[in-house]
Amino acid sequence: MAGQALFYFLALLTVAGSVAVVALPNPLYSVLSLVAAFLGLAGLYLSLNAQFVAVVQVIVYAGAIMMLFLFVVMLINLGREERLPLRLPIQKLAGTIIGLGIFAGLVNLYVSAPLLTGAKGLFPAARLAEVGSVQAVGKVLVTQYVLPFQAMGVLLFVGIVGAVVLARRRTR
Amino acid sequence: MADLAVMLVKVVAAFGALLLIAAYMTWAERRVLALVQVRVGPNRVGPAGLLQPIADGIKLMFKETVIPAQADKLVFVLAPLVSLVPAMAAIAVVPFGSSVTLFGRQVDLVVADVNVGVLYIFALGGIGVYGVVLGAWASNSKYPLLGGLRSAAQLISYELSLGMSLLGVVLITGSLSLKDIVAAQAGYPFILLQPLGFLLFLVCMLAETNRAPFDLPEAESELTGGFHTEYSSMHFAMYFLAEYCSMITLSAVAATFFLGGWRGPFLPPVVWFLIKVFAFMFFFMWVRATTPRLRYDQLMGFGWKVLLPLAILNVVATAGVLALLG
């Protein structure tokens, strides 16, 4: 009962935060709403017994990445957002159709597939409590998913090199 | 029901003690600084000035809250809380004694034994930075904004080395829970195995709490008061408390990771824990009294080009030795 109330609170925080990101006129408030949404998401991970993912969600997304967003908003000192006129007339229609399509896909998934309970797989709840969530994530990450993991490293490295190149071009 | 009551007592006791120690650290700091600088320090309110923190608290509570006309009022009022709450909550995972038996119940002397304890402390530290940045932005004034930007850049830079410096101990223990880390130091404290990690942590600890010689965010000669220039009364006090609470938390983390936490001969565990924490707090004050402030570019260069490579070297060396030993 308490768990369910907590779920609805966290879900409400996440959804309301996400809606507020697009709805609020002040960009700084949008950033803060996104932080709130990420914290709600971290809470949901916690309730799923994934402590490590929850804490990393807070450290990486809510802590580091959103701080960069905040920096950008503060440094370029955005005022209230200006509404640009839409370029193409069908943009609105196309956006609506794509959005509804994705939503329908999600609903379809929810209705057709059996809900994932976490009872199956390598690390069910009992085993997870035994080995700890850090060990569980680490084990899968460097055995089963080692290739995507390494590819991600290359991707981040390319990103860093790109940032350095762009910054150097600016100063020359 | 009884579990809930035990939990409640632990929460109230831990946070009450934290706030009390934080308040008295302001007194201790002024006395220690005075001692180093051959002055007397506050000695008028009560015996040896011991009632000074209470007088300061009452004074701050009755002061008028001034909010600048151009400030973003909501964010301005919320920002000190965003700074204070994570700083206080971080102490929850630090064990301050072994388990005791009270009224026939086994009670662990830690508010919450989380299996990702270390990461929990870092996550809260990351949230705490928002308090500084938002307060600086919401003041809508140039000195706070500059102070806030500096502060955020500094905290993000030193957070990396801070985390890396603890990783050696985590590798040796094989757990992120602070309780397990204390348990692993039954024979000898980890300072003997991780001397470099300990030194790196000491330096990063000063930078993470914005203390001298890394107190650039509030460098008064160039930025007046830094990010809290526009703050007054209790809102200012909350920033101040947040700084002292995170000093205490990081002292407790240092004691837990490198000095064996509450372990020690003869005296009860809680006393040993407090002795170690106070030793680190004295270190904070001692450094403040004796070192000049770094320049901003020196600070950044030191963090990225000296501390971080050393921290990475420490992790790689520790992992290598552990792999060799099997």
Tokens of B9: 């007592």
CATH number (domain holding residue A31): 1.20.120.1200
CA distances from B76 to A36, B67, B79, B118, B251 (A): 17, 8, 6, 30, 29
- When pLDDT is averaged across residues B14-38 and rounded to a whole number, the result is 88
Report how many Cβ contacts below 8 Å link chain A to chain B: 62
- Can you tell me the distance from the alpha carbon of B242 to that of B250, in angstroms, rounded to the nearest whole number? 12
Query: What's the burial of B226, exposed, middle or buried (CB within 10 Å: 0-12/13-18/19+)?
Result: buried
> Do B228 and B189 touch, CB atoms closer than 8 A?
no
Cβ-defined contact of B127 to A58 (cutoff 8 Å): yes
* Neighboring chain B residues of A133 at a CB cutoff of 8 Å: 115-116
- Can you tell me the distance from the alpha carbon of A11 to that of A20, in angstroms, rounded to the nearest whole number? 14
Spell out the alpha helix ranges (H) of chain B. 2-36, 52-62, 73-89, 117-138, 142-173, 178-183, 195-208, 220-223, 233-258, 269-290, 296-301, 308-325
Q: What pLDDT is attached to residue A83?
A: 62
> Do A35 and B130 touch, CB atoms closer than 8 A?
yes
Q: Which residue is closest to B157 within chain A, CA to CA?
A: A64
Q: Which residue is closest to A72 within chain B, CA to CA?
A: B149
Q: Which of B127, B133, B176 sits opposite A62 (nearest CB)?
A: B127
- When pLDDT is averaged across residues A70-86 and rounded to a whole number, the result is 69
Task: Summarize pLDDT for B35-47 with one digit per residue, the tens.
Answer: 888 888 888 888 8
Q: Is any Cβ of chain A less than 8 angstroms from the Cβ of B152?
A: yes
This prediction's pTM: 0.84
The verdict on residue A5 lying in a domain is: yes
Cβ-defined contact of A35 to B130 (cutoff 8 Å): yes
Task: Summarize pLDDT for A120-159 with one digit per residue, the tens.
Answer: 666 666 666 666 678 778 888 888 889 999 999 999 999 9
The verdict on residue A119 lying in a domain is: no
Q: Which of B72, B120, B123 sits opposite A63 (nearest CB)?
A: B123
- Can you tell me the distance from the alpha carbon of A41 to that of A15, in angstroms, rounded to the nearest whole number? 9
Does the structure show a pLDDT above 60 at A172? no
Q: Which of B80, B257, B130 is nearest to A34 (CA)?
A: B130
Cβ-defined contact of A58 to B123 (cutoff 8 Å): yes
Window 100-139 of B, Cβ < 8 Å to A: 114-116, 119-120, 122-123, 125-127, 129-130, 133-134, 137
pLDDT tier at A38 (50, 70, 90 boundaries)?
A: very high
> Higher-confidence residue: B97 or B309?
B309
Question: What are residue B102's DSSP bridge partners?
Answer: B105
The verdict on residue A166 lying in a domain is: no
Q: Which of B10, B22, B162, B197 is nearest to B94 (CA)?
A: B10
The CA distance from B45 to the nearest CA of chain A, in Å, is 42
Number of domains forming the structure of chain A: 1
* Neighboring chain B residues of A52 at a CB cutoff of 8 Å: 116, 119
Cβ-defined contact of B75 to A51 (cutoff 8 Å): no
Domain that holds residue A11: 1-80
Does the structure show a pLDDT above 70 at B169? yes
Question: What are residue B106's DSSP bridge partners?
Answer: B101
Cβ-defined contact of A55 to B116 (cutoff 8 Å): yes
The verdict on residue A162 lying in a domain is: no
